[in-house]
Amino acid sequence: MTDQTSVIQDVQRGMIPAHIYNDKEIFELEKERLFGRSWLFVAHESEVPEAGDYVVRRVLEDSFIISRDEKGEIRALFNMCLHRGMQVCRAEMGNASHFRCPYHGWSYRNDGRIVGLPFHKEAYGGEEGFKKKGQTLLPAPSLGIYNGLIFISLDPDAEPLEDFLGDFKFYMDYYTKQSADGIELRGPQRWRVKANWKIGAENFAGDMYHTPQTHTSVVEIGLFREPKAEKRKDGTTYWAGNGGGTTYKLPEGSLEDRLRYVGYPDEMIGRMKEQWTQQQLDVVGKDGFMVSAASLFPNMSFVHNWPRVEEGSDEVLPFISIRMWQPISENETEVLSWFAVDKNASEEYKALSYKAYLMCFGSGGMFEQDDVENWVSLTNTAAGSMARRLLLNGRMGLLEDGQNVVEPLTAKEYSGPGSTRIGYSEYNQRELLFRWADHLERPVQAAAQLHVGIDPVQAGAVAGGDAAPSVGSAATVPAAMMSQEA
């Protein structure tokens, strides 16, 4: 494999080797060193509200059953039968107390425990031969939940999710905690685009600069009033913890006026005031900024916009969307896009907000259509040898000597955490790529293996005792340690 040191160094000084948006070797490295250990969003609790509800989600090639077990606990189970490796659950959503493998009929409870193993005694000699007791489908190495958002990491030693999110939680609350009960999620719409996964994440993180150009048409047809060039650059970009995003500048007025301006009804505003901290309220009410798009490293994004959804009215209505840029290859991404809405909102609000979402974002959204066209084209252009000669300048906001064009807002000017600036810049895209480079630079440890049904140390020989005993690597976790109470 090619040494990527220079690519990493270029990225660390804000220059972007254009080929990273379509490079097989880089992608292999991303799979191993980035997606192999980062926290990744898979589902929201509201997608599996009842005991037995499940959805099936992928992390790269790995399929996981995200289920709510009979005790109400959320599980993320690797969707591979412990017998000969068949995919256990082949639906993408449903409700089940058990999953039965179609191949030889092993069955598992919705918390992962084996319950049925046909001919256990006759075929294996019972527990002596195969320790069924305590065996479960392989759980995701790490699982964390914030505001109902379920994340998993393939790294068993991943830092706690909340530490990873850090101050970005402050901003996630605007999208996912508008009242004590949080959001409900619908979807996802899923579609595949011939674009590298990083481009969307970078765009949502901080690309205010593209809005007036790319999205001219939606302003022209009266769907959205904001993206006009002058307006967009009055907003901010912020970076906090492991995520960052963009805001719009709101007109003068009180907190309530400003929330009404983007279309929130008074009853929702009332709940926001109960729910959000004073600082969270001050970003809107005192500083006058409203969150728009955002990304959490590496590949989760958020959108909050307020288009006009009805004929003959100037009223706008906000919607929220959550998405994953699921990497398929160096030049293909599966987009998973959900509609999110506060659980306590009225049915009428939910319907109109959903309409606003469909018109603007997602597979048919009028904003999104033009974005994707650009990203597909970019990915195509990045494939060839000429792209390898081009170091794109990703330094917007920095002078050549590293000085800032615009200084961050002070605590007096801005109430939120992180580093926040008014106007166009690429700080956030750089923050994403810095983290990307950090991961790519750092080799991964070999993962622990689970020896299904036997004790790897004491396990006797196979093939009638002629062959060598099975070798457990240093990283091997004895099966007993993986057991859960049955």
Partner 1 sequence: MTVNTAHEASGTTLSEQSALGAHAPRTQRTGRSLPFNDELHLEAHRWLVDEAYLLDEQDYDEWLSRIADDMHYLMPVRVTTALGAGYSTSPGMAHMDENKYSLSRRVARFATEHAWTEDPPSRLRHYVTNVRTFRTEKADEIIAESAVLLFRSRGDVGEAATVSAGREDLLRRTATGWQLARRTIMLDEAVIRMQNLAIFL
Residues that bind ligand FES (CB under 6 A): 81, 83-84, 86, 101, 103-106
Those residues with Cβ within 8 angstroms of residue 420's Cβ, 6 or more apart along the chain or in another chain: 236, 237, 238, 239, 408, 409, 414
Query: Is beta strand 391-393 parallel, antiparallel or unpaired with respect to 419-422?
Result: unpaired
User: Among 2, 5, 94, 404, which residue sits at the site for partner 1 (rule: CB under 8 A)?
Assistant: 94
Q: Where in 342-371 is the site for Fe ion (CB under 5 A)?
A: 371
Nearer to ligand FES, 84 or 192 (CB): 84
Asked if residue 223 binds partner 1 (CB under 8 A), the reply is yes
Residues in the chain: 486
Q: Are 244 and 237 in contact (CB under 8 A)?
A: yes
Q: State the minimum distance, in angstroms, from the CB of residue 136 to ligand FES.
A: 14
State the sign of the Cα–Cα–Cα–Cα dihedral 281, 286, 291, 297: negative
Using the rule CB under 8 A, give the single segment among 93-101, 150-158, 162-170, 475-483 that binds partner 1: 93-101
- The dihedral over CA atoms of 293, 22, 154, 295, expressed in degrees to the nearest 10, equals -10
Nearer to ligand FES, 106 or 168 (CB): 106
Asked if residue 359 binds partner 1 (CB under 8 A), the reply is yes
Q: State the minimum distance, in angstroms, from the CB of residue 442 to Fe ion.
A: 32
Asked if residue 154 binds partner 1 (CB under 8 A), the reply is no
Q: Which of 197, 217, 181, 234 is nearest to 340 (CA)?
A: 181
Asked if residue 92 binds partner 1 (CB under 8 A), the reply is yes
Question: What is the DSSP code string of 350-396?
Answer: HHHHHHHHHHHSSTT-HHHHHHHHHHHHHHHHTTSSGGGG-EEE--T
User: Among 358, 378, 448, 454, which residue sits at the site for partner 1 (rule: CB under 8 A)?
Assistant: 358
Q: Residue 20: exposed, middle, or buried by beta-carbon count in 10 A (0-12, 13-18, 19+)?
A: buried
CB neighbours of residue 99 within 10 Å: 25
Using the rule CB under 8 A, give the single segment among 174-182, 252-260, 365-373, 412-420 that binds partner 1: 365-373
Nearer to Fe ion, 69 or 371 (CB): 371
For residues 32 and 25, what is the distance between their CA atoms, to the nearest angstrom?
A: 11
User: Which one of partner 1, Fe ion, ligand FES, none is in contact with 416 (Cβ closer than 5 to 8 A by kind)?
Assistant: none
> Per-residue x/- marks for partner 1, 96-115, CB under 8 A?
x-------------------
Tokens of 282: 């001050």
Q: Where in 371-410 is the site for Fe ion (CB under 5 A)?
A: 371
Asked if residue 45 binds Fe ion (CB under 5 A), the reply is no
Asked if residue 194 binds partner 1 (CB under 8 A), the reply is yes
User: Among 128, 274, 311, 485, which residue sits at the site for partner 1 (rule: CB under 8 A)?
Assistant: 311
Which residues are registered as beta bridge partners of 246? 237
User: Among 12, 363, 381, 476, which residue sits at the site for partner 1 (rule: CB under 8 A)?
Assistant: 363
State the sign of the Cα–Cα–Cα–Cα dihedral 413, 418, 419, 424: negative
Q: State the minimum distance, in angstroms, from the CB of residue 86 to ligand FES.
A: 4
User: Which one of Fe ion, ligand FES, partner 1, none is in contact with 25 (Cβ closer than 5 to 8 A by kind)?
Assistant: none
Asked if residue 380 binds partner 1 (CB under 8 A), the reply is yes
